[in-house]
């Protein structure tokens, strides 16, 4: 089963260009392997087709065309296997801060398993929904949108809409306003070119019409459908694959809706309070570290409860900050949570720090309740959850290995040194690839988001494929 989460390493340069031919076909690549399930082997470890496709679907690689994206993804995954093995060989995974990170990995593994148990496995789009989505996927929508974050402008738009103004009149009146953005888009249903909400709204109105005001993640929008034309005509043998793709996208969208509903229902009626004295003390403890980076389990050597406690009285760390009907978090508990969640201290002022802190703690409380629900259902015994934990642990080992290797390297030389090191790991490895199976892989090309999304942490089903190489052509 696929799963999700995502963190960033501040010093990593992400280049998403094509890999060089040396990277693709280095001297470590041996004769092809065969089989319908194993797409590659790295020493004695197998890269299984289903796992590879899930990682591929979840990772946007915008600078890589679809045909080369499969090879790019496989090469990144091979690096992940090699570096994670190196990390374990050097016993870096035995360090205390790494175990702190694994605690959060385990919690989120069970949260993902909870959604598979309670949401995903119950989602079954009906035939009417599938047919409607399939038909829409054959038609291209050409849409013009007006977007703003200004509530006053939105109120003006509503008045114009109620007065039956045409979209061209609204566009003429507001198109040159500095707080209004005009954007055109051309897309098919489910192709990932626009956010899901815009896709959904556009197909709900007829060409020549405009929508009501829509609430977006940031601001508001007003959409006008210029035209909708069928430009995809499938042969009989192409239809099944297209239907499968549509079903996959539709199911993922339904999962996201149901998952958000599940979270809302789980948290309903639970009174969560923030204690003023404890919160103020927490801000006082954190204040000297503002603009100092992140509390990152990969980048600092001391537990925050150890290092930060040097600046305050130890008994003050036991002041309660968050109180729920089922648990209480002290300052000491919150510091550990910030450490695990890689909370950023690079804020310009205290108000922004407080806003981000409140958002993260809200998410952490939600995660704690989801985790407890998973334990209540006995999902910690699930074989798929154990497999998921192994996948995320390997991903974390990969990141930890890279950050450890370049920790003492001059920042200006990191990319060159890191790429050379990754190449040397390949040269010493026994790597075999089933090229026939790789070439036959089918994927939608859409970044599949499942579970819920909030304004700070998209919950990824599987780890993204992170490329640490310098991918400039040699």
User: In this structure, is residue 289 part of a structural domain?
Assistant: no
pLDDT number for residue 473: 42
User: In this structure, is residue 204 part of a structural domain?
Assistant: yes
Domain carrying residue 222: 139-230
User: In this structure, is residue 96 part of a structural domain?
Assistant: no
User: In this structure, is residue 144 part of a structural domain?
Assistant: yes
CA 291 distance to own-chain centroid: 25
Q: How far is CA 109 from CA 69, 115, 455, in A?
A: 27, 10, 21
Assign 3-class secondary structure to the chain: CCCCCCCCCCCCCCCCCCCCHHHHCCCCECCCCCCCCEEEEECCEEEEHHHHHHHHHHCCCCCCCHHHHHHHHHHHHHHHHHHHHHHHHCCHHHCHHHHHHHHHHHHHHHHHHHHHHHCHHHCCCCHHHHHHHHHHCCEEEEEEEEEECCHHHHHHHHHHHHCCCCHHHHHHHHCCCCCCEEEEEEEECCCCCCCHHHHHHHHHCCCCCECCCEECCCCEEEEEEEEEEECCCCCCCCHHHHHHHHHHHHHHHHHHHHHHHHHHHHHCCCCCEECHHHHHHHHHHHHHHCCCCECCCCCCCCCHHHHHHHHCCHHHHHCEEEECCCCEEEHHHHHHHHHHCCCECCCCCHHHHHHHHHHHHHHHHHHHHHHHHHHHCCHHHCHHHHHHHHHHHHHHHHHHHHHHHCCCCCHHHHHHHHHHHHHHHHHCCCEEECHHHHHHCCCCCCCCCCCCCCCCCCCCCCCCCCCCCCCCCC
User: In this structure, is residue 193 part of a structural domain?
Assistant: yes
CA-atom Rg of the chain in angstroms = 25
pLDDT number for residue 463: 86
What is the number of domains present in the chain?
1
pLDDT number for residue 204: 94
Q: How far is CA 280 from CA 275, 286, 330, 355, 361, in A?
A: 9, 10, 12, 13, 14
User: In this structure, is residue 354 part of a structural domain?
Assistant: no
pLDDT number for residue 4: 35
pLDDT number for residue 16: 27
User: In this structure, is residue 317 part of a structural domain?
Assistant: no
CATH number assigned to the domain comprising residue 176: 3.10.50.40
pLDDT averaged per 10 residues in sequence order, the chain, 474 residues:
35 30 38 69 93 83 71 94 96 84 89 89 91 96 96 95 95 93 94 88 96 91 97 94 90 85 92 95 82 46 45 76 97 88 76 87 93 96 92 93 92 92 96 93 64 56 85 50
pTM, rounded to two decimals: 0.70
User: In this structure, is residue 458 part of a structural domain?
Assistant: no
């Amino acid at each position: 089963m696929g799963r999700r989460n995502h963190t960033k390493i501040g010093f990593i340069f992400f280049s998403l260009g094509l890999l060089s031919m040396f990277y693709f076909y280095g001297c470590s690549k041996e004769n092809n392997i065969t089989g319908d399930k194993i797409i590659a082997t790295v020493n004695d470890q197998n890269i299984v087709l289903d796992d590879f496709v899930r990682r591929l679907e979840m990772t946007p690689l915008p600078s890589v065309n679809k045909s080369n994206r499969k090879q790019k993804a496989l090469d990144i995954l091979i690096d992940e296997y090699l570096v994670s093995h190196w990390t374990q060989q050097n016993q870096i995974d035995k360090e205390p801060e790494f175990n702190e990170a694994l605690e959060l990995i385990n919690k989120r593994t069970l949260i993902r398993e909870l959604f598979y148990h309670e949401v995903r496995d119950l989602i079954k789009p009906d035939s009417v929904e599938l047919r409607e989505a399939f038909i829409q996927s054959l038609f291209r929508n050409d849409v013009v949108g007006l977007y703003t974050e200004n509530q006053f402008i939105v109120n003006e738009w509503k008045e114009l809409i109620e007065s039956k103004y045409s979209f061209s009149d609204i566009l003429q009146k507001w198109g040159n306003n500095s707080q209004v953005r005009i954007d055109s888009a051309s897309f098919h249903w489910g192709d990932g070119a626009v956010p899901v909400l815009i896709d959904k709204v556009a197909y709900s109105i007829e060409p020549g019409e405009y929508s009501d005001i829509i609430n977006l993640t940031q601001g508001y929008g007003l959409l006008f459908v210029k035209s909708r034309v069928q430009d995809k005509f499938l042969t009989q043998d192409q239809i099944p694959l297209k239907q499968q793709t549509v079903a996959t996208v539709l199911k993922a969208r339904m999962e996201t809706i149901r998952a958000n509903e599940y979270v809302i229902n789980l948290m309903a009626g639970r009174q969560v309070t923030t204690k003023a004295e404890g919160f103020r003390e927490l801000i006082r403890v954190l204040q000297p570290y503002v603009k100092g980076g992140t509390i990152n389990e990969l980048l600092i050597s001391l537990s925050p409860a150890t290092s930060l406690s040097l600046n305050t009285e130890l008994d003050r760390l036991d002041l309660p900050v968050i109180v729920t009907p089922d648990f209480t978090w002290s300052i000491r508990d919150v510091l550990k949570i910030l450490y695990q969640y890689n909370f950023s201290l690079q804020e310009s002022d205290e108000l922004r720090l407080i806003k981000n802190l409140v958002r993260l703690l809200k998410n952490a409380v939600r995660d704690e309740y989801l985790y407890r629900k998973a334990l209540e259902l006995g999902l910690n015994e699930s074989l798929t959850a154990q497999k998921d934990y192994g996948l995320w642990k390997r991903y974390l080992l990969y990141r930890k290995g890279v950050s450890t290797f370049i920790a003492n390297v001059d920042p200006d030389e990191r990319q060159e040194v890191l790429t050379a090191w990754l190449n040397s790991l390949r040269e010493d490895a026994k790597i075999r690839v089933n090229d026939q199976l790789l070439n036959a892989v089918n994927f939608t090309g859409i970044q599949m988001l499942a579970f819920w999304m909030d304004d700070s942490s998209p919950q990824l089903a599987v780890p993204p494929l992170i490329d640490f190489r310098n991918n400039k052509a040699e």
